[in-house]
Structure 1
Amino acid sequence: MQGKLLLPAYYMPPISYFQAIVQQPDEIVIDQSEHYPKQTYRTRTRIGTANGILELFVPILHGRKTHIPMKDVKISDDHPWQRLHWQSIQTAYRSSAYFEYYEDDLNYFYENKFEYLVDYNAQQVKLFLKMLKIKREVSFSETFEPYNTEEIDYRRGIHPKQVLDIDSIKPYHQVFEDRQGFIPNLSILDLLCNQGPQSKNFL
């Protein structure tokens, strides 16, 4: 694999995920064969609300297997998480400048059922690339790529516990900035709802 950018399939990925894509103009390869790791952006996202950061979690089915490939991780529908997520997103961004432009496309992910987490997340990644007007091929890995790969690998580099260099982050207007101050590296949804067509320039 030469000239590939290895990425995990994240749920409504953070802004840093798409900054990595813009900075590395290579074909995007989503690793669907990696062992599913807990407590990552694969099942969570962060949005900005009147009360600060709200984390949204996609529930998954937990089997007895401790090392399960990402492509085999199934979404649990034991409770109405999609409805709750959509209500939270609407509450957070309804008053933003551009939410209405993206609303119908986003609503698709909360009105339709998905069996596998990787499919759900990957379709979102493709949608956000389209919204950002980033033309990039996206494919899936056939086998697991070792972490010492020579490819450009962000599977471990973008993490909820990642320490950010705040001074290097370019701020933009956020809906609740007057109450919470600027909150960096939220979901790409936050940037799109607040900056719309200018989002790519921010990246």
Structure 2
Amino acid sequence: MNILIHPSYFPSISHFAAMAQSDSITFEMEDNFQKQTNRNRTYIYSPNGIQLLNIPIKHSNLSHQKTKDIKIEPEFDWQKQHFKSLEAAYRSSPFFEYFEDDLLPIFQKKHTFLMDLNFEALEITAKCLRMKLEFGTTSEYFHEIENPEITDFRYLVNGKKDHSLFEPYTQVFDDKHGFLNNLSVLDLLFNEGKFAMDYLKNQAII
């Protein structure tokens, strides 16, 4: 399977399942930024249930701005907040401490562009999953993909259009709130560790 997909912030399980099951990956680089999508957000399982982690972005007067040109707003200490939220959610999970040092650079390094941050998050997560991440990038935007050999998974960046349902696995707070489906791949990583990659390869994506 050859896929076209967005580089997003610690992507959803469906996002990584598509990547894990692909023969080749092409990342969309020429799209216009859309608010309320996972381009700059991810969802985790907090002690109070589902929690949104959002990266603040600099607002522009332009009506259309490409995602690759979006800059992160440096006035907010979002990195500290996100890492504290991850600690509260996953410190007691089986594999948080195992991967903690690998993930720390995301929350210490100051990125100017959202796209650079997203690619670093993807590469670090793939390394933790022991996934070989080789990919191409687009040089032109096409609304519709006419090549039948390419599966267009760009819709996955919009969580409202992603209806995938996955097999339950043990989550830290599932005794309180039950199984929460299709969170950030970090939820799977911290709970399943070395078994996460096998899980991703065996899930159906809708």
Query: For the structure 1 residues 77 and 149, does the alpha-carbon distance in structure 2 shift closer, same or farther, using more than 3 Å as the test?
Result: farther
CA distance in 1, matches of 2:156, 2:85: 28
The residue identity in structure 2 corresponding to 1:125 is L
Specify the alignment match of 2:196 in structure 1. Answer: 199
Query: d(CA) in 1 for partners of 2:124 and 2:146?
Result: 28
Deviations along 1:56-91, one digit per CA (max 9) or x if unpaired, are 100101111121111101011111111111110111
Off by >4 Å, runs of 4+ in structure 1: none
Counterpart mapping for 1:142-161 below 5 A: 142-150=139-147, 151-161=150-160
In the TM superposition, what whole-angstrom CA distance separates every residue of 1:159-190 from its partner, at most 9, and x where no partner exists? 22135354xx2110000011110101010000
Equivalent in 3, 6, 14 of residue 4 of structure 2: 6
* Count of residues paired in the alignment: 198
Q: Report the secondary structure of 2:84's partner residue.
A: helix
SS at match of 2:45: strand
1:44 aligns with 2:27: no
Q: Aligned partners of 2:151, 2:164: CA distance in 1, in Å?
A: 21
Distance 1:137 1:112 in 2: 23
Contact 1:16 1:158 in 2 (8 A): no
Identity %: 37
Q: What is the root-mean-square deviation in Å for CA atoms of aligned residues?
A: 1.5
Preserved CA contact (<8 Å) 2:155 2:161: no
Corresponding residue number in structure 1 for 2:118: 121
Alignment of 1:17-96 (within 5 A): 17-26=15-24, 28-96=25-93
Length-normalised TM-score, structure 2? 0.90
Q: Determine the C-alpha separation between the residues in 2 that align with 1:134 and 1:188.
A: 13
- Name the CA shift for 1:163/1:4 in 2 (closer, same or farther; >3 Å): closer
Partner-residue secondary structure (3-state), 2:3: strand
Contact 2:123 2:133 (C-alpha < 8 Å) held by counterparts? no
Which of 156, 160, 185 is matched with 2:182 structurally? 185
Moved more, 128-137 or 68-77: 128-137
- 1:42, CA displacement in angstroms? 0.4
- For 2:21, the aligned partner's letter is Q
- Paired with 2:5 and 2:124, the residues of 1 have a C-alpha distance of 16
2:72 and 2:111 in contact (8 A); partners too: yes
Structure 1 portions without partners, runs of 5+: none
Q: Secondary structure at the match of 2:42?
A: strand
Aligned-pair CA distance for 1:5:
1.9
Q: Output the amino acid matched with 1:177.
A: D
Shift of 1:155: 1.1
Q: Any stretches of 5+ residues in structure 2 without a counterpart?
A: 201-206
Distance 1:158 1:68, change over 3 A: closer
CA distance in 1 between partners of 2:144 and 2:65 (Å):
17
Match of 1:156, SS state, is helix
Q: For 1:63 and 1:189, locate their aligned partners in 2 and report how far apart those are by CA, in whole Å.
A: 31
